Amino acid sequence: MKKIIFSLVITALMVASLAPTLGAEGSVKSYYSGSTAYYKGLVIVGTTNSGYLEIFKIDQAGNLQKFVNIKSYDQRFGTEKDFNDVMIRTEGTGLFAYAVDGSALYKYDISDLKKAQRINRVEDNSWDWFGSLTVIDGKVATVGSRGVKLWNSNLIVVDAYSIINTTNNNSYNITPSGSEKFLFNVSDATVSVFDRESRSSVLTSVPLDFKWGSTWYKRSIYNDKVDNSIYVIDDEAVRKINFNGEIEKSFRHTGSLGYDVIPSANSGYVYFSDGIGIVKLRKEDFKVVAYTYTANLGAGNGWVMGIRTVQTDNGERIVAFNGSSIIMLDSNLKPIKSSNGGTAFVIATVENTFPEITEALFLGIDKNHASANSKVILHGGGFGKDETLVVSFGSVQTTVEAGADGRFSQELTVPALKSGPVDIKVSGMSTAYTYSLGFIVE
């Protein structure tokens, strides 16, 4: 099989959880991703964004109920532990939830839709750290620090791939994205395509606009097997890209960020999320056929990141992880109503201890070019309150402290580098936010 690598160049990175907290007090943890299923006439939604394994059921009338709310437990230290990801799936006539907490993979039976009964738990003896879950060849797969492992229903490894996401050792973004042949790895400012048959990768680079991006967000892209192309959203546009690395179509969205692209049950359409809303695009000509703004849906102050589809007896439903809440829409992106006439939604309630963010991330400098050993003043904001920041000017690092407003100003000496472009990057030690700008050494 022909070897293929596909690389998406990301120009600067910032953890995407910033957006849902803008203008808010940051008092609760935001919903940004999860898993869905349809079982016994109910939409089932699972998420671990709060650190808890939370599972909800939503009936045809839009009424919803949480029936699982548990934390993992660290037996060695006797303390609670966060779950990292969940996968809800049917097996035979039953419904099961697979979850990972880093060191272990769990399997729960949730078929009675009343509780989660743990039926298995395994740790990997290779010291793998499980960051996320996906499905490959119909099997649950863990994505970890030592690669991708496929597990059977008894939680025994039946296959593995040596493909690793190296960004901060958080292996969230490896997925088949609808492909039966490839795995897609979002890592270190690239998306590479891994050929499962030859177990190798090959590279084609396509510049994209990911000024804000994320090193941890579980980003969904879509590989369409019919037109043999990849659909991806960056912070400027939705792109259709072929396996030669050529952009065939683009649609410029109105949001400042891009998150997920997922297929509709109707093969002629895709949905995408850009923070401010969800859009349904016709694949043939990239025309908008439906859209909705989500800021005021659900609990309000919404910022939509993850989106999933689920096919029900009443048609396709879109589950949107909208920051302060989880909402559900129909295939025309109209909110599903509950039996009392209001919009059906799940509200976020778990307290957030993340540093308070008061504005969007930014950097500025008094001059963008100067000779070695010259003085320049770098300033910025959008970081955590009183957060420690590391400024990397080429290979030279300087530690500074953000103020109560998340802003800073620091005089820097231009390092003794050869003439040419160099990046200045600022990284938050608490938030893990990073942002960079270009500089030219004269």
pLDDT of residue 171: 58
pLDDT band at 356 (very low <50, low <70, confident <90, very high): low
What is the per-residue pLDDT for 202?
A: 67
Instruction: Quote the pLDDT of residue 24.
Output: 37
At residue 163, φ and ψ (nearest 5 deg) are -120, 125
Strands 434-441 and 369-370: parallel
d(CA 190, CA 110): 37
Across residues 369-396, what is the average pLDDT? 90
Whole-structure pTM value: 0.77
Q: Is the pLDDT of residue 115 over 90?
A: yes
* Count of Cβ atoms closer than 10 Å to residue 199 Cβ: 12
The CATH superfamily assigned to 7-347 is: YVTN repeat-like/Quinoprotein amine dehydrogenase (2.130.10.10)
Please tell me the least confidently modeled range out of 18-22, 166-170, 224-228, 263-267.
Answer: 18-22
> Does the pLDDT at position 47 exceed 50?
yes
pLDDT at 263: 97
Q: Is 308 left (phi over 0), alpha (psi -120 to 50) or beta?
A: beta
Most confident option among 149-163, 215-229, 235-249, 355-369: 149-163
CA distances from 205 to 10, 59, 76, 208, 246 (A): 11, 45, 45, 9, 9
Cα dihedral 366→370→376→382 (10° resolution): 60
Q: Is the pLDDT of residue 67 over 60?
A: yes
Quote the CA–CA distance of 320 and 337 in Å, as a whole number: 14
- pLDDT above 70 for 14: no
User: Closest Cα partner for 363 from 347, 376, 349?
Assistant: 376
- Of 79-83, 175-179, 256-260, 381-385, the one with minimum mean pLDDT is 381-385
Tell me which of 110-114, 117-121, 165-169, 182-186 is least confident.
165-169
Query: Which has the closest alpha carbon to 352: 408, 430, 256?
Result: 430
Is 234:251 a contact under the CB 8 Å cutoff? no
* pLDDT in the model for residue 167: 58
**Of the given ranges (101-105, 193-197, 353-357), which has the lowest mean pLDDT?**
353-357
Greatest C-alpha distance within the chain: 70
The pLDDT value recorded for residue 355 is 64
Across the range 221-248, mean pLDDT stands at 90
The structural architecture, per CATH, of the domain 362-441 is Sandwich (2.60)
59's tokens: 């009936």
Residue-range domain boundaries for the chain: 7-347, 362-441
Share of the chain above pLDDT 70, in %: 86
Interatomic CA distance for residues 242 and 221, integer angstroms: 13
What is the predicted pLDDT for the residue at 95? 98
* Better pLDDT: 369 or 62: 369
pLDDT (tens digit per residue) in 315-347: 999 999 999 999 999 999 999 988 777 777 888
Q: How confident is the model at residue 424 (pLDDT cuts 50, 70, 90)?
A: very high
Confidence of residue 17 (pLDDT cuts 50, 70, 90): very low
